Chain A
Amino acid sequence: MVGPSSSHTAGACRLGLLARGLIGGTPQSGLLQLHGSFARTGEGHGTDKALVGGLLGFRPDDERIREALQIAEREGLDYKFEKVTIADAAHPNTVRINVELNGKKATMLGSSLGAGRIMVQEIDGYPVEVTGNLHTIVLVAEDRKGSIARITGILAEHDINIATLRLSRKERGGDAFMVIECDEEPDKKAGEELRALDWVRWTRRLPKVSGG
């Protein structure tokens, strides 16, 4: 990785990479709202460069992170930083990233936990827990019988092995949240087939951003 801090630089870069993954490319605009230690000490740690570097698709060991702000201007990524208080209890290294590419928008709330580990807590307002250690699909579906079988069936047809699957719901018959971690990268077509199910309200694919 590029220094100087695994939490403020490498972790920040991974959060940027995940936000980029949500819209499938370098965003045209990015609003980065920094909370806590990210807001207070981010500049000296290169957190700003690392987040923008992640949005540009740079991995944590890419030395171009040092010039990420200048490269963003050349590549037409219009970024803006804000210092905010997200919640008093939020992790000290937290950022909300709002990105847009050709009208496709996404919002992600995530934290850098130390030693480069990250946790995404919210995507488009939906609560999730995504670590970026594996390729991940998140989706919200109607709570109905057979939904898991249909979803896992689609993934199997695309030769994707499920590593972990977490399912939760607020109430019987309410929205069901699913976080599916996969050993293989789910292709665009698998994502489209899931989205095409009329009882799936919302789904996103997130890339694997850590590990060798």
Chain B
Amino acid sequence: MYKALADAIKDAERDKKSLAQVALAAESRDQGRPVEDIRAALQRALDVMRSAIEKGLVGDLYSASGLVGGDAAKLRTSAKGPLAQTPFRDILTRALAVQEVNAAMGVIVAAPTAGGAGVLPAILTGLAKAKSVSDEKVVDGLATAGLIGAVVAERASLSGAEGGCQAETGAAAGMAAGAATEMLGGTPSQVGHAVALTMQGMLGLVCDPLGGLVELPCVFRNATGAAIALAGIEMALAGITFAIPVDEVIDVMGEIGREMDVRYRETAGGGLAATPTGRRLAKERLYQIKRADA
């Protein structure tokens, strides 16, 4: 697999291929499996993503602590708000839906992790619906997203405990932005700029969930992460470029993660988790979980 997105972009441009094709060829070599096998696995992942969205949109799922749940359904049915009946609103709703299923221990696809699992399916399936994109192209999008995620894992981190939320929803937003940009006709170079334009907006984001549980603010951060990814896609497809190369943006995400105080890396020691209300809610709800299990 590639260690720099710049290398993958160079190969794609030289061979007049999409990044998805380049990614599938590299994965096929690494795993010793035919490309069709990998596409079939990605199609299965897409099916799981869609079924998670469907389950989450119903609005009857709540997390073990009861801290989150039912909000995707609120956003789905609300007629208020400037984005009502737009693909943008639909994507935000889908992101909440997947994360609510995740918080309720339902089946999701880690993309790249469970905590950031709402962004990629929301963007890809939401835009596929709005723009009538075929499943084949969405599967290509998943391959491109996988390539981006692998580079982030190699150069920085995909773990909130290592790099904060920028490594989870930040990476997810970068993957989604790059994948969707290609899915909507962007060039390999525009994919790189979409990732950079998106991830620059997520730099420094801390991982501070209440009680250390993947619930609050994780559910909402998937929706806001998707919004930032949409901004990245919109700018990149308009031909806007980001002066700092994408691999350097990823490197700096890793550097910020390494410098980040341990309180802000999934330990519930700082950020929203350490606010007076955050501490109180975590204490009450964790007690409730223990009692329910006993």
Contact = CB atoms under 8 A, between A and B. Distances in A.
Interface centre among B106, B110, B117, B162 (most CB of A within 10 A): B110
Interface stretch (B86-94, B222-230, B234-242, B286-294): B286-294
Interface in A16-68: 37, 40-41, 43-46, 49, 61, 63, 65-66
A4 B102 contact: yes
A10 B115 CA distance: 12
Given A4-B114, A43-B290, 16 more contacts: A1-B107, A1-B109, A3-B114, A4-B63, A4-B103, A5-B214, A6-B112, A37-B267, A43-B289, A63-B106, A69-B293, A113-B159, A114-B167, A115-B110, A115-B153, A212-B44
A49 B292 CA distance: 14
Interface residues of B, number: 43
Contacts, number: 108
Q: Give the 8 A-B residue pairs with the shortest CB-CB distance, closest first.
A: A114-B159, A41-B212, A3-B102, A4-B214, A212-B41, A6-B113, A44-B213, A115-B158
Interface in A76-127: 92-93, 113-116
Interface of B: 31-32, 41, 44, 48, 63-65, 101-110, 112-115, 117, 153, 157-162, 167, 211-215, 266-268, 286, 289-290, 293
Given A3-B106, A3-B108, A37 B266 contact: yes
Contact of A3 (B32, B112, B214): B214
Given A44-B65, A115-B159, A4 B110 contact: no
Contacts of A6: 110, 112-115
Contacts of B32: 183
Contact of A7 (B31, B44, B48, B159): B159
Contact of A5 (B104, B107, B114, B289): B114
B65 to A, nearest CB: 7
A212 to B, nearest CB: 4
A2 B106 CA distance: 5
Nearest to A211: B31
B113 A114 contact: yes
Contacts of A7: 113, 159-161
Nearest to B102: A3
A66 B105 contact: yes
Contact of B113 (A2, A49, A115, A212): A115
Given A69-B293, A114-B162, A44 B212 contact: yes
B105 A65 contact: yes
A82 B266 CA distance: 21
Contact of B110 (A44, A46, A116): A116
Contacts of A183: 32
Interface centre among A4, A44, A92 (most CB of B within 10 A): A4
A9 interface: yes
26 contacts: A2-B106, A2-B107, A2-B108, A3-B103, A5-B113, A5-B114, A6-B110, A6-B112, A7-B159, A10-B110, A10-B114, A37-B267, A40-B267, A41-B212, A41-B266, A41-B268, A43-B290, A43-B293, A45-B214, A69-B293, A92-B267, A93-B161, A115-B110, A115-B112, A115-B158, A212-B41
Nearest to A8: B214
Nearest to B52: A3
A45 B212 contact: yes
B158 A61 contact: no
Contacts of A43: 286, 289-290, 293
A4 B213 contact: yes
Given A69-B293, A114-B159, A41 B113 contact: no
B159 to A, nearest CB: 3
A3 B267 contact: no
B157 A114 contact: yes
Contacts of A40: 212, 267-268
Contact of A63 (B107, B115, B159, B212): B107
A10 B159 CA distance: 13
A46 B212 contact: no
A61 B110 CA distance: 10
B72 to A, nearest CB: 14
Contacts of B268: 40-41
